[in-house]
Amino acid sequence: MLGGAVCLFAVAGPCFFLQTEVGLGVRATGDNPQMIRSLGANTDITKITGLSLSNALVAVSGSLVGQYQSFADASMGIGMIVVGLASVIIGEVLVRTPNIIRALLAALVGSIIYRMVIAVVLQLGMPATDSKLLTAAIVTAALAFPALRERFRKPAACGERRDSIA
């Protein structure tokens, strides 16, 4: 129950914030800081705002993990960047992301799928080294999937649009 509420907050909070004027400034600074600087905005403040919000979300997630496990250690987060990257890649492959809401939902869906695959691997009784190999294979497959889909897609007929949703 708490996990669902945290997931809802983790998706709805940034989604709402990134639609505000300050949030749009943070997004624009991430896309093209030179243009934002030429418009007179202070890119240093928008960068600090974005980093502060991301670190706040990391702190909340770390505190929830520590509370859930009744234990906290400085080395608990080792490997979380790989897990996060794999989750985002898997989500972006499965959920095409034309806007912010879908991008946030893609990361959430990717993390759920990633954790489900890890749970299946652990249920099969594979050693930790094999689970790391399987994780690397999943990330590689997710990275290769868009290129393979494009390569094996049927060529468009004359006058037919290529950008239709497949």
Long-range contacts of 101-106 (CB under 8 A, 24+ apart): 101/11, 101/15, 104/10, 104/11, 104/14, 104/15, 105/11
Question: Is 158 within a domain?
Answer: no
Q: Is residue 165 part of a domain?
A: no
* Residue that is last in its domain, among 20, 41, 70: 70
pTM (2 d.p.): 0.69
Torsion sign over Cα 60, 62, 64, 70: negative
The pLDDT value given to residue 159:
59
Can you tell me the mean pLDDT for 103-124?
86
**Number of structural domains found in the chain:** 2
Provide the domain limits for residue 96.
Answer: 77-153
83 and 134 housed in the same domain? yes
Cα–Cα distance for residue pair 106/110, rounded to 1 Å: 6
Would you say residue 105 has pLDDT above 80?
yes
Could you tell me if 97 and 145 lie in one domain? yes
* pLDDT tens readout for residues 47-65: 999 999 989 988 888 888 8
Q: What is the pLDDT of residue 65?
A: 83
Residue ranges of the alpha helices (H) in 18-127?
Answer: 21-31, 33-38, 43-69, 80-94, 100-123
